[in-house]
Chains A and B, each alone.
Chain A
Amino acid sequence: MTIEERVPTFFEWLLPSADGIGALVKLIIVASAVTFLGLFVSYLIAAVRHGPIEAFYRVAKVLFTGVGDLFRTSPRRVLAMARLAIQESIRRWVIVVFAIFIVVLLFAGWFVDPESTQPARLYINFVLTATNFFILVLAIVLSTFSLPSDIKNRTIYTVVTKPVRPSEIILGRIAGFAAVCTVLLVMMCGVSYGFVVRGLDHRHNVDLESEEAVYVKGADGKPVLTGWQGETTTNAHHKHTFFVDQDGHGYTNMNRGHRHRVERTAGADGNPVYSVGPPEDDLLARIPIYGELRFLEKDGSVKERGINVGDEWQYRSYIEGNAPGSVEREEAVWVFEGVTKDRFPHGLPVEMTIGVFRTYKGNIERQILGEIWLKHPSKNLASTKDLFESKEFQTHAITFSPTLERELTAADLQRGSARDTNRELDLFDLVDDQGRIEVHVACAERSQYFGMAANDMYLKAAEGQFWWNFCKGYISMWFQMVLVTTFGVMFSTFLNAPVALLASLLTLVFGIFKKLIVQWTSGQIEGGGSIESAVRILRQDNVMVDLEMNAYASRTVKGVDWVVQKLIQGITELVPSYAEFSVSDYVALGFDINFHLQLIQGLTTIVFVVAVSTVGYFFLKTRELAA
């Protein structure tokens, strides 16, 4: 499994590019729109209350005091408010949430399928999802109940009659609740890390009955001992096969996403003694370098996508295979950048996960064969093709060594005997001046297909620390928690507790499904807008045919839909996309969480906190607290 989303670099995200206007421009547009709209609505309300001229002065005055308050913000007051929020949370038995969390983990055995083929993924996904859920719900409850209860109990009277600015009340609350949730997150992080590691930990013994010595035929025709193979005992619902060399060192096979180190020593009584280590390679944090994917058609022309095999889900494109050496087949070509000798001194480690689409079953036991080779991006220089057996959606790890064998070119063949030519090839001869190299993949069987997407292949640049990646998962969760808290506090400045709670939950849901909503509003999903869909449902129309009504009615329906869609689109712009903060897949699938991704998340969080608390400030400032 791979991460499907391509993470842009920080600057790709920030600045305008071919893909879009970039975050900075978007921020400026949205911020100006919100400011303008906010001013306009405030003016309207003030005008209704105080008349059009007085209203102007009032709005201006609030704005000016706002700027003044910003400069008069006192850290001591903010901290005092934060401390109060913390004391309040402690009094509300926040620790109970932690206790419940622990209990849920203790009973997690009920949720976690022991027969799973990927227990690490399951465990990690489970703890990350559970923590995320707990912390966000807690953040929403804490942040939305606090201010309204202060107003209801009128404790706010004794606070706002001190020289406290609304900004300090809001910032203090956000800081206080964020601090509480941070402590909880740290505790949950520790506990769930322990839960994952201990939950996955298991040992095997070697089933001595199954042990066999392995021989190969030596140069003199006599068998030579190379090592031993056998099976482990069944523990934790599975077992492994293993192989150790003559010196007694070895590994088991990969099963359920992990393997064990096996050591064989001769015991005192002459019988072998085996020791099997803890599970390894199940908790990874691979740092991938992704490339650009394009496809070569049978005639060698380039195109963006392969064949659509009719799968609704068009994430992967398919290429048609043919026998090795045949020209009548398509190829997938990844171009990787930044390939240098410093970075890959021991060769080029490639990891690949591809889909297989069989047009005929053939021998279902046998896997479809594929070919993979390296090529210089512009020169006619390539390595020889390696055959591999495609295991559907399993990761193939292939390392191209620094010295390769050159594929014969047409020119070589014309010259005559291939045996005479020097075919030694340095890996880095295939890299062009800009540090690029091409990896080609083809399906080596007639009329069978391979499916791939850009992220299906990557260079494994390095291996990060799993525990740190796990923590980074919690950092992303922390960002979400801060966002949710900020929204909660903002809503609680003008709504009562239950309504603020509802509004915060809605915002969260809106944020989680933001992408889908944006797709719908920008017309990427067939069937039109809400009214059009309703009409279609009533008339049981197909979504693909044009709406059949008279032109006027149809235009009205589409017009109203357009307005509704734009409105919803506008609202979604005001909500952070929580999906972009969700990194549990990275941790669970064993990919390092990219620094750029977290930078983007961090900056997004800061921008939202500033903007949303500013909105909260004006709500609180203009609210009659004793009314």
Chain B
Amino acid sequence: METVAEPQKSSHVDDTDVVIETRNLSKVYRDFWGRQKVRALKALDLEVRRGEIFGLLGPNGSGKSTTIKLLLGLLFPSSGQALLFGKEASDVAKNERIGYLPEESYLYKFLNAEETLDFYGRLFDMPAAVRNERIPKLIEEVGLTRSKRRQLKEYSKGMTRRIGLAQALINEPELILLDEPTTGLDPNGIRWMKDKILRLRDEGKTILMCSHQLADVQDICDRIAILYQGELKELGRVDSLLTVQDITQVRARGLGAEAQEEIKEVIARHQGELVSIDNPTLTLEELFLNVLQESEERPGMRHQGN
């Protein structure tokens, strides 16, 4: 496979279109004495552009959450840089334009939905008028109108996820970071979440999400990156990554069962009615497992395609 989308250095592209940029971003978790515990992220170079849905994939412990936390300034890089809107991740001012849905909704359980959104709205220094306008709308959007007066500790997992999303959207962010947005949701909820994410993209927002639900990622992401043990293994547009370039797929019609044996022959001779010739696509699951398998066989190498 040809490399479709190598990470480009942003400097010569339209700068304003690059929302997230990481340069050689690495993270080593250390203990209290500074001894190395885990190398969670190794020299990650990424670029996320305005208006796309970017998926971060990888098995458990591959460094997805670490990446997001580095981007948010919750962790400090051991080396390299993480830039959002061209500003350092440690800069608090960038948070004005960001929404973040954590792995689990880390919200105050003793507040109800309205109080939660009101609290986070105040943290954006929103005047009461703006809060009063946005909060009911958001609650409506995430479908919690009926339970908006109940404390979050009474919420089910799906409801918690919804209020978590509402909280991430309170400031109408340009960039939304979603850590496993669909876990814990029922199929209905997953559908809702995916639609919601697509709608946000259509509104021009940029979305970075990580997930294990490969089918969901395949459905909605424009581009993906696959991490394995802190290393970037695969990066590109979803459609091109899933296209198998060196295999040709032929679909035919009007051939009888007894002609099965002849098909190969017929096709070999380029005869018969050709309906289509193209390359087969993998499911994302197949790609994912391939990448992992290959990474285990040849550690340290970037995935070379099949």
- A residues with CB within 8 A of B: 48-49, 65, 69, 74, 76-77, 79-80, 83-84, 87-88, 91, 153-165, 624-627
Contacts and interface: CB of A to CB of B under 8 A. Distances in A.
A624 B29 CA distance: 11
A510 B232 CA distance: 53
B252 interface: no
A162 B72 CA distance: 10
A77 B123 contact: yes
B74 A161 contact: yes
A18 B81 CA distance: 57
Given A80-B122, A158-B102, A164 B92 contact: yes
Top 4 closest pairs, chain A to chain B, by CB: A80-B122, A626-B74, A162-B123, A154-B106
Interface stretch (B48-56, B93-101, B235-243, B263-271): B93-101
B119 A80 contact: yes
Given A161-B98, A163-B125, A69 B108 contact: no
Nearest to A84: B119
Contacts of A84: 108, 119
Nearest to B98: A161
Nearest to A79: B122
Contact of A157 (B91, B100, B111, B122): B100
A74 B107 contact: no
Contacts of B91: 65
A80 B92 CA distance: 17
Contacts of A155: 106-108
A158 B110 contact: no
B167 A158 contact: yes
Given A163-B93, A163-B96, A626-B69, A80 B75 contact: no
A624 to B, nearest CB: 5
Contact-size category for B: 20 to 34
Contacts of B124: 162-163
Contacts of A153: 106
Interface in B65-116: 69, 72-76, 91-93, 95-96, 98, 100, 102, 104-108, 110-111, 115
Contacts of B69: 626
Contact of B125 (A76, A88, A159): A76
B120 interface: yes
Given A79-B122, A159-B123, 10 more contacts: A69-B92, A77-B125, A87-B111, A88-B110, A154-B102, A155-B108, A158-B102, A160-B73, A161-B95, A163-B123
Query: B73, B115, B119 — which one has the most chain A CB atoms within 10 A of its CB?
Result: B119
Contacts of A83: 119
A165 B75 contact: no
B106 A158 contact: yes
Contacts of B92: 65, 69, 163-165
Contacts of A157: 72, 74, 100, 102, 106
Contacts of A163: 92-93, 95-96, 123-125
Contacts of B108: 84, 87-88, 155
A58 to B, nearest CB: 10
Contact of B72 (A76, A161, A627): A161
Contacts of A80: 119, 122-123
Contacts of A65: 91-92
Contacts of B73: 160-161
Interface centre among A69, A87, A154, A161 (most CB of B within 10 A): A161
Given A77-B123, A154-B106, A158-B107, A624 B76 contact: yes
Nearest to B66: A626
Nearest to A169: B123
Q: In the complex, which of the residues A77, A160, A162 has the most CB atoms of chain B within 10 Å of its own CB atom?
A: A162
22 contacts: A48-B34, A74-B125, A76-B125, A77-B123, A79-B122, A83-B119, A87-B108, A91-B110, A153-B106, A155-B106, A156-B106, A157-B102, A158-B102, A158-B106, A158-B107, A161-B100, A162-B95, A162-B123, A163-B95, A624-B76, A625-B74, A627-B75
Interface in B201-253: none
Nearest to B31: A627
A164 B104 CA distance: 21
